[in-house]
Structure 1
Amino acid sequence: MHPDSTSADRLTALGHQLVEIHLWLLDELDQLRAGLAAGPDGSPGAERLRGLRTHCLSFCSALTRHHTGEDAGAFRVLADEAPELRPVLDKLSRDHRMVDWIVRRIEALVTAPPTDDPAAVDRVRVELEGLSAILASHFRYEERTLTAALDALGQRAGDTTALLGVTPPPDW
């Protein structure tokens, strides 16, 4: 969706906005994973991990805001408007708690005191790979089950940030 669209346009296509947010988050995660790739000398090293710290913490924060926003915003509205979706919403909220647990592990790894132990980078890589797989599946399921219901809410639902926690950056 074009960033200059009106609020009403965005709300009419809330499901589309959800997909855009998911694509943006997955792209950010891909950039983090690529940043952990081995350097020209073959070693990832602690320097690379230190360099990714800010990006990683920013990504983790955005992902957490998105899931918290969904749980407190869109999911509550959908539960009232479409009670038949409550089992789906409960499953998605459980997924959010699992993702949050992984995010906290990643945050702990990237904020740990610097070390030259290559295993530290490998631990972050493994966590990011796992998070990537889980999010890809979670996002597809969420989009498949909620997009039409979100679009049906229209303007009466509230704004995108309140319902979905974040909005895609303006370049999306």
Structure 2
Amino acid sequence: MLTIGDSFPEFSKLATVSLEKGKEFETVTHEDHKKDGKWMVMFWYPKDFTFVCPTEIAEFNSQYPEFRDRDTVLYAASTDSEFVHLAWRKDHDDLRGLRFPMIADTSKSLAESLGILEKEEKVAYRATFIVDPDGIIRWVSVNDLNVGRNVEEVLRTLDALQTDELCPCNWTKGEDTLSA
């Protein structure tokens, strides 16, 4: 699995971005967040039309303004197709108003490059990557398939990384950092 200090892999993937007819899909790439010097958070989930996944996606969506305020591009990703993403968004009340792309990694090439494919089912683990504006992975967290992640912890870690200072245990934005 790729880890802290590694370059995030190059990718160009189709993503579901809207429910509006004719504007449902766009291509997203590893370069998109770098154009404006933004950070990237990409969170992976196993499958569409499941139970834990929509709780996470909905929580990332409710926290979307927090990511935007931190100059961070947010992406959801799974190995399902863009058409399955679209159908799920149309079908699930909590997913209709998503404000970030859902990447379709149908070839599983990006998930494989990241090292996050589950061995038996070949679906992505619940992996979260925080990537800096230079494309370097600065944080990785991976949960087993049946355990949802904590979006507040992703935000807390993003805040700490963006200080570029020493942050003690349980540090939160606005608290003092450490001096060496």
Query: So what's the TM-score if we normalise by structure 1?
Result: 0.26
* Structure 1 or 2: more helix by fraction: 1
User: Is the radius of gyration larger for structure 1 or structure 2?
Assistant: 1
Query: So what's the TM-score if we normalise by structure 2?
Result: 0.26
Q: Which has the higher contact order (CA 8 A, sep 6+)?
A: 1
